[in-house]
Structures are given as structure tokens and as C-alpha cells.
Structure 1
Amino acid sequence: MDPVIVLVIILGGLIILGFLINKRLVDLAEGQKPSDELLEIIKMLQEGSKEDRKVLLSSLQKNTQSLNERLDAASRVIGQVQRNVGEMSEIGRGMKDLQEFLRSPKIRGNVGEQVLKELLSQILPKKSFNLQHTFKSGEKVDAAIITSAGIIPVDSKFPMENFRKMTSAESETEKKTHSKQFERDVKRHIDVISKKYILTEEGTIDYALMYIPAESVYYEVVNSPTLFDYGAAKRVLPVSPTTFYAYLRAILMSFEGQKIEQKAREILAAIRAIQKDYNKVEDNISKLQRHLNNAYNMMSNVLTSFTQLGQKITSTQSLGHGVKEEVKKLKE
């Protein structure tokens, strides 16, 4: 039980007790003079009541102060809650205004195209995509991603009207009716994308992306076997902001892979050029070595011939000296 309530009960009991004692004293005064013992008891009760009242009042003041502090804290919390409720009301009004704003199909289309543009600009290099890409027929697709395999057409579609009616329908019959209308809307968008933008003769790949800006609408499409199979048959793949982001990251990785592959080709070409130059130098060195060997051999032959010639000259000189000796002897 709350201490304040207990104190109030005790205080009420003391007041009633004091009233009864006072009434008894009046009755005694009117009847007969009370005895000394009775007066002593009454005096003790009065003194005890004063002390109890002091303790009770002190405790009551403390509890009252604590209660006031709690009430102040509660008042602050309530004030904060009221402010938060006001902010939520403002947000609710803003969401309502946004819903009213998005009722126009043209405005919804512009919003979807802008979000698509922001996603492409944040992830892919600027030269790897075109906005409002124009085909020879004059048709314009919201975006065209340029890859080594071909152009990937991306068109934003926002089938919101019948989706909103379907999700807010109160009866099952009404929900089925709007569900069929929503299905027709999505199929019509798929047909348009497949017919206008999948043009392999103009360099596109054999499928296109249908960008749906609202995740709830996207999941309604992909969770419908009829719509998903219809899109696959028409080679149109639905994507939401989340799945499109993952798709773009995969494309970006392929671009990085292409850059690495190109660098590898350049390095390989440089290595081949170096190998070719090395072979030329090796051939020249071989030729030089052969020439040097030939020169060395020729020099050896020349030296041998020169040595032999010297020996012959020496032999001739010896013969001449012998002839002179013989002539001298004959003269004697």
C-alpha cells in the first residue's frame, strides 16, 4: 500500500481517538469528577498523541515532497511525450502530403527517374552509362549501362495506384479486383520495356531491367509467380533500389576486372616486346661471337704463316752464309 495512504489512515484514526477522548471528558465533567488515575492516563495519551502527530506530520511532509518531485518528473515526461506526439503528427501530415504529391503518375515517374540517376551516379563511372538514351526509333530509355557485352537498358516504372488500392482494400473481393488491375499494370509496363528497349541490333543485350523505386511494390511483383514468369518470358528483370544497388556493384566489379584484364594484356604485350628485343640481341651477340671466332682463327693463321715465313727467311740467310764460306774457301 502507498505510504501516503497509510499515513492518512493513521492521522484519521488519531483524530477520531482524540474526538472520543474529548467527548468522554465532557461526559465525566458533567457527571462526576474523574479520578487521579484516569487523569494521568488521559495526560499520557495526550502527550503520546502530540509526539505521534509530530512524527506523522514530519513523515507526511517528506512523502508529500517526494510525491511532488515525482509529479514534477511525470509532468516533464508528459510534456516530452506531448512534444513527440506533436512531431509524429507533423510527420504524419508530411507523409500524407507526400502521398497526395505522388498520386500524379508523371510526378511518380520523375521521382523514380531521379532516384535511378542518383544510384547510377554514386556507383558507376560517368562514362559507363547514359541517361535518356535514344534509340534509332526515337524511343528514350531512362538509362543505358554500357558494358563489354552490350548495352543494358534500365527503365523506371512506378505502378503505385492500384497497388495502394489493393493494400488498403477492406474486403477480400475488393482486394482481388485491385490485385488483378495491379497485375495488368505491371504486365503492360513489362510489354513496353521488352518491345521498345531490347534491341540487340542496336547493341543492347537480350534483356532489360525494370527499376521499381518502392520496395513494397517490388516485392509484390517478385512474389507473384505469374508476374515473375511473365517478366522472365519477356526478358525483363524487375529490380528495387536494394537489388539494383547489388546489381550495380556486380557490374562495377566486372568493370574493375576488365581494367585488370586490360592491364594484364598490356603487361603481356610489353613482356613479348622485351622477349623479341632479347632474341634480336641474342642473335647479334651470336653473330659477333662468330665474327670474333673467325677473326681469331684468321689471326692464328696469319701468325702461323708469318712464323713460317720468318723461319724460311732465317733458313735462306743460313744458306747464304754457307755459300759465302764455300766461295771464300775456293778463292784460297
Structure 2
Amino acid sequence: DQLKGLQDILRNPKQRGVLGEYYLETVLKNVLPPGSYQMQYGFEDGSLVDAVVFIKDKIVPVDSKFSLENYERILATNDPAERERLEKMFKQDLKTRIDETSKYIKPAERTMDFAFMFIPSEAIYYDLLINKVGAVQVSTQDLIEYAFKEKHVIIVSPTSFLAYLQTVLQGLRALQIEESAKEIRKNVEALKKHLINYEDYVKKMGTQLGTLVGTYNTGYKELKKIDKDIVRIAGGDGAIEPMVLERPQEEEDF
């Protein structure tokens, strides 16, 4: 019953689309950290892509496509003429899905110059890679080249998408390290600037202290002269001994 229910879901295009989006979200959730992706991302023209992955200030669109009706019909028919007709329809289905996915490449809205077309079926993806559809020889390699070279669309299955996401994840970690390094360099440069300013102020203070000490010593000498005058007038010994302070010495740079 469960298998029959799954088959019924896969026959319904709308339910199959929901299932494809569920697979896509599951893959994203299992690999990427929260906040690095978003489901059902809206663009300015009102279009919605199934998901996007955020890489720094850029966006990678990911659309889930699941063309299955004509694929199943190809496998079910024994009529060569009907099979040929269905093969052409299947290829057109895929081409249409590729074209739809490419519409989400919007550099003006910060997307990367490529998009992922997520096929939730490993079987269909495998058939695309080996240039076959089931037991029928139908050229699909040109579709993969068309997607990548002309439309900048990368076709992925759940397994291959995992590999791409691992690469994206490593890139995110590298960006975080780079940002941390930039922040450290920025703070070190600010600290260096503050130290230079501090050194300037200390030098100025030393100069001012030197002037103050010189003034103090001169004043004390004048006080000693006054003391001598008092001794000459009143007699006795002088009561004041000048206390001379040393000026601050500038240290030489090593």
C-alpha cells in the first residue's frame, strides 16, 4: 500500500513537485548551516525559485524539476514509432525545464552566473549521464552541454548535489576564515595607529616635562639667591639647598 501510494504521488505532477522540493530541502538542511540557504526565494519580478544558497553577498538559485510522464511512457511502450515520438517529447520536456531554470540567473539581483537544476530522481539523472533513457537510445548528452554551455545550468541529482554543496560549504568556511583574518588585520592596523598616536603624545609630554623641569630648576636657583641675600642681611647659615631635578631622557631607537 505504501509503495502504491508513492507511485500515485509520483504520477501527480503537483504532488511530485512538492516531493522534489522536499528532497531538495532535506539535502540542503543536512549539509548547509541555517541561514545559508532559503526555500521559495522571490525575485523582483515576482518569480519564485525553489531554493537559493547564499555565498557571501551572492545567491545561487536551485530549482527542482521532475519530468517523469513521458519518461515512464517511453519505458512502457513497445511501439517504435510511439517511442520515437515520446523520446522527442521527453527531450523537449528537459529542455523546457533547463530554460525555466536559467531564468533564475539574475546577476542584477546578486545571483551567480549559474544555477542548479535539481532532479530528485537518480535514475533519470543517471540516464542523462550515460546518454540513454531506460533501455532506449536517445541522445541526451547534447542537453547537458546545452544546459551548461548555453544556459549556465548545472544539472544535479541528490547525490551529485551533495558533492557540490560540500564544495560550497568549504567555500563558506574559507570566506569566514578570510573575513576573520581581514577583521584581525583591521584591528591590528587600528592598534598600530593608536600606539603611534600614544607615542607622539608621550614624546610631547616628555618635552613639556623637560621644559617644566628646567623652569623648576631655574626657579629653585633663584630661590637660593634669595636665601643668600637673607644670610648677608641677617647673618647665619643658609637654610635652602637647591634640589635639582634631572630632565627626562629620550631613549634611542634600537
Instruction: Quote the sequence identity (%).
Output: 34
SS at match of 2:45: coil
Residue 220 of structure 1 corresponds to 127
Which amino acid counterpart does residue 198 of structure 1 have in structure 2?
A: I
Give the corresponding residue for 1:32.
Answer: none
- Which string of whole-angstrom CA distances, capped at 9 and with x for unpartnered residues, describes residues 118-155 of structure 1? 11122223322221112222221111222225221111
In structure 2, the partner of 1:211 is 118
Which aligned pairs between 1:304-323 and structure 2 lie closer than 5 A? Answer: none
Asked whether 1:202 is paired with 2:109, we answer yes
- Number of the residue aligned with 2:204: 287
Q: Tell me which amino acid in the other structure corresponds to 1:219.
A: Y
Residues 1:162 and 2:108 aligned together: no
C-alpha deviations, 1:22-64, integer Å up to 9, x for none? xxxxxxxxxxxxxxxxxxxxxxxxxxxxxxxxxxxxxxxxxxx
Q: Secondary structure at the match of 1:187?
A: helix
* Distance in 1 between residues matched to 2:40 and 2:122, nearest whole Å: 23
* Shift of residue 199, structure 1, vs aligned partner: 2.1
Amino acid at match of 1:286: K
What SS does the aligned partner of 2:194 have? helix
- Structure 2 letter corresponding to 1:199: K
Change (3 A) 1:316 1:96: closer
Equivalent in the alignment of 2:35: 127
The structure richer in helix per residue is 1
Please name the residue that 1:71 is paired with. none
CA offset at residue 311 of structure 1? 8.4
Q: Where does residue 263 of structure 1 map in the other structure?
A: 180
Query: 1:312–1:185: structure 2 CA closer, same or farther, 3 Å change rule?
Result: same
Aligned length: 225
- C-alpha displacement of 1:114: 0.6
Deviation at 1:307, TM superposition (A): 7.0
Between the aligned partners of 1:269 and 1:210, the Cα distance in structure 2 is 40
The equivalent residue for 2:146 is: 230
- The unaligned stretches of length 5 or more in structure 1 are 1-92, 318-332
How big is the shift at 1:312?
Answer: 9.3
- 2:65 aligned with 1:189, yes or no? no
Q: Separation in 1 of the partners of 2:5 and 2:216?
A: 105
Residues 1-332 of structure 1 mapped to structure 2, 5 A cutoff: 95=3, 98-167=6-75, 170=78, 176-195=84-103, 197-223=104-130, 224-232=140-148, 233-299=150-216, 301=218
- Please give the secondary structure, in 2, of the residue aligned with 1:127: coil
Equivalent AA in structure 1 for residue 94 of structure 2:
V
Query: Does the Cα contact within 8 Å between 1:149 and 1:205 map onto a contact in 2?
Result: no
Q: Mind listing any 5+ residue stretches in structure 2 that lack a counterpart?
A: 131-139, 235-254
> What per-residue deviation string (whole Å, max 9, x for no partner) do you get for residues 249-283 of structure 1?
22222222222222222222222222122112211
Q: For the Cα contact (< 8 Å) 1:222–1:238, is it kept in 2?
A: no
Q: What does the per-residue CA deviation read over 1:134-193, in whole Å, with 9 as the maximum and x for residues that have no partner? A: 222222111122222522111111112222333455576665444333211100111122
2:191 and 2:167 mapped to 1: Cα distance?
A: 36
Change (3 A) 1:307 1:127: same
